[in-house]
Chain A
Amino acid sequence: MTLQAYIIRRILIMVPLLLGLSLFIFVLIRLAPGDPTLFYLPQDREMPPEVQERVMQRLGLDQPIHIQYIRWLTSAVQGDFGFAYGYGEPALSLIWGRLPATVELQLTALLIALTLALPIGIISATRQYSFIDNVVTSFTFFGLSMPNFWFALLMIFLFAVQLDWLPAVGNGADRPFLVRLQYLIMPALVLALNDMALYMRFMRSSMLEVIRQDFIITARAKGLKQATILFRHALKNAILPMITIVGLSLPRLLGGSIIVESIFAWPGVGRLGYDAVLRRDYPTIMAITMLSATFIMIVNLLVDVAYSFADPRIVYDDKE
Chain B
Amino acid sequence: MSIEATVSKISVAHISEKARIWRMFRRNHLAVIALTFVILLCLTAVISPWIVPYDPAEQNVRNSLQPPNIEHWFGTDQWGRDIFSRVVMGARVSLSVGLVAVTILISLGVFVGSLAGYYRHLDGPLMRFVDMVMSIPGFFLLLTIVALFGPSLLNTMLIIGLTSWMGTARLVRGQFLSLREKEFVEAARSIGVPNRRIIIRHLLANTMAVIIVQATLFMARAILIESSLSYLGLGAQPPTPSWGVMLSQGRDYMRQGWWGTVFPGLAIFVTVMAFNFLGDGLRDALDPRLRGR
Contact = CB atoms under 8 A, between A and B. Distances in A.
Contacts of A296: 134-135, 137
A289 B276 contact: no
Contact of A277 (B134, B148, B150, B265): B148
Interface residues of B, number: 41
Contacts of A148: 228
A182 interface: no
Contacts of B16: none
B261 A33 contact: no
Interface string A132-149: 000000000110111111
B143 A141 contact: no
A128 B292 contact: yes
A274 interface: yes
Given A33-B150, A145-B220, A149-B228, A251 B143 contact: no
| B interface majority secondary structure | helix
B137 A142 contact: no
Given A146-B269, A274-B143, A153 B132 contact: no
A18 to B, nearest CB: 8
B144 A25 contact: yes
A300 B134 CA distance: 11
A293 B141 CA distance: 11
A32 B132 CA distance: 21
Interface string B126-160: 00100110111101110111011110000000000
A208 B293 contact: yes
A285 B144 contact: yes
Contact of B265 (A24, A153, A288, A289): A153
Contacts of A13: 128
B118 interface: no
Give the interface size bracket for A toward B: 35 or more
Contacts of A25: 136, 144
A267 interface: no
Q: Give chain A's interface secondary structure class.
A: helix
A277 B137 contact: no
Interface stretch (B66-74, B183-191, B199-207, B250-258): B250-258
Interface in A135-173: 141-142, 144-150, 153-154, 156-157, 161
A246 B228 CA distance: 23
Contacts of B273: 141-142, 145
Given A145-B272, A208-B293, A262-B232, A278 B140 contact: no
B91 interface: no
B104 interface: no
Task: Report which residue of B137, B145, B268, B277 has the largest number of chain A beta carbons within 10 angstroms of its beta carbon.
Answer: B137
B231 interface: yes
B245 interface: no
B265 A147 contact: yes
Contacts of A255: 137, 140
A141 B276 contact: yes
Interface string A279-320: 010000100110011001100100000000000000000000
Nearest to B265: A150
A153 B150 contact: no
Which of B132, B227, B250 has its CB near the most chain A CB atoms (within 10 A)? B132
A76 interface: no
Interface in A229-259: 251, 255, 258-259
Interface in B229-273: 231-232, 247, 250-251, 254-255, 258, 261-262, 265, 268-269, 272-273
Contacts of A154: 261-262, 265
Given A28-B144, A28-B145, A285-B144, A259 B232 contact: yes
A179 B141 CA distance: 35
B101 interface: no
B214 to A, nearest CB: 15
Contact of A292 (B140, B149, B227, B277): B140
20 contacts: A17-B131, A24-B132, A28-B145, A29-B144, A32-B148, A147-B272, A149-B228, A150-B268, A153-B254, A154-B261, A161-B254, A208-B292, A258-B143, A259-B232, A262-B232, A273-B143, A280-B148, A288-B140, A289-B136, A293-B137
The 10 A-B residue pairs with the shortest CB-CB distance in the complex, in nearest-first order: A32-B148, A150-B265, A145-B273, A205-B293, A145-B272, A292-B137, A277-B147, A293-B135, A296-B135, A255-B137
Interface of B: 128, 131-132, 134-137, 139-141, 143-145, 147-150, 220, 224, 227-228, 231-232, 247, 250-251, 254-255, 258, 261-262, 265, 268-269, 272-273, 276-277, 280, 292-293
Interface of A: 13, 17, 20-21, 24-25, 28-29, 32-34, 128, 141-142, 144-150, 153-154, 156-157, 161, 205, 208-209, 251, 255, 258-259, 262, 273-274, 277-278, 280, 285, 288-289, 292-293, 296-297, 300
Given A147-B227, A157-B261, A285-B144, 20 more contacts: A17-B128, A28-B144, A28-B148, A128-B292, A141-B276, A147-B265, A148-B228, A149-B247, A153-B247, A153-B254, A154-B261, A258-B139, A258-B140, A262-B232, A273-B143, A288-B140, A289-B136, A289-B137, A289-B141, A292-B136
